[in-house]
Amino acid sequence: MEIWRDIKNYENLYKVSNTGKIYSLRSNKILSTKCNNTKAYLTVKLTNDIGKVTTYRVHRIVAETFLKNPKHKSQVNHIDMNRHNNNIKNLEWVTAKENTKHALKNKPFMLDGLKNYNKFIKPNKIEQYDLNENFLACYANSKIAELFTGVCSRNILQVANKEEYKNGKIRKQAGGYIWKVKND
């Protein structure tokens, strides 16, 4: 049975179902979700009362609405490894370490392409933090961080290296996280 609940901070504007659908109360329609490629997470754009549009990952909305998180774990895992299956039965709260273990257990070939990359390039380790600067995880490089978080490695590096990306602006976060180069 499909259950609908208000989305936090968007009450009376949008609802989310336990199967991963997003419904607009303004337009009385199920919203379409977007995906850049088959490896990326499904996203949806929500507009608040004052017209500000924000893009969210659907699985995060579903988990935050329907799944209890008493241990305050920071990541949402797709149990069947299908990032397009946002049914509540397929989602669970995990730590970054648990998420990585799950991915390697179920798809160990994911690291095959990175073996040669790491032979010739000695990239810096990348640390992941939430927006309150709480440490979440450390990755061997930005490519591995992208693999496990779905955040573009170029964007991760722009944040970590404090690089200019648009008209002199410095990106402060990517994918809802702060990224830093680990200094050994």
Would you kindly state where each structural domain of the chain is located, as residue ranges?
A: 1-94, 96-184
User: CA-CA distance, 127 to 141, in Å (whole number)?
Assistant: 9
Q: Tokens 């379409």 identify what position?
A: 32
Q: Which residues contact 162 (CB under 8 A, 6 or more apart)?
A: 170
Contact 131, 108 (CB under 8 A): no
CATH topology of domain 1-94: Homing Intron 3 (I-Ppo) Encoded Endonuclease; Chain A (3.90.75)
| Single-letter amino acid code for the residue at 51 | G
Q: What is the pLDDT of residues 5-23, one digit of tens each?
A: 999 999 999 999 999 999 9
Q: Is 0.85 surpassed by the pTM of this model? A: no
pLDDT greater than 60 at residue 138 = yes
Report CA-CA distances (Å) from 13 to 16, 88, 104, 183.
11, 21, 39, 44
Mean pLDDT of 34-38: 71
Mean pLDDT of 74-86: 93
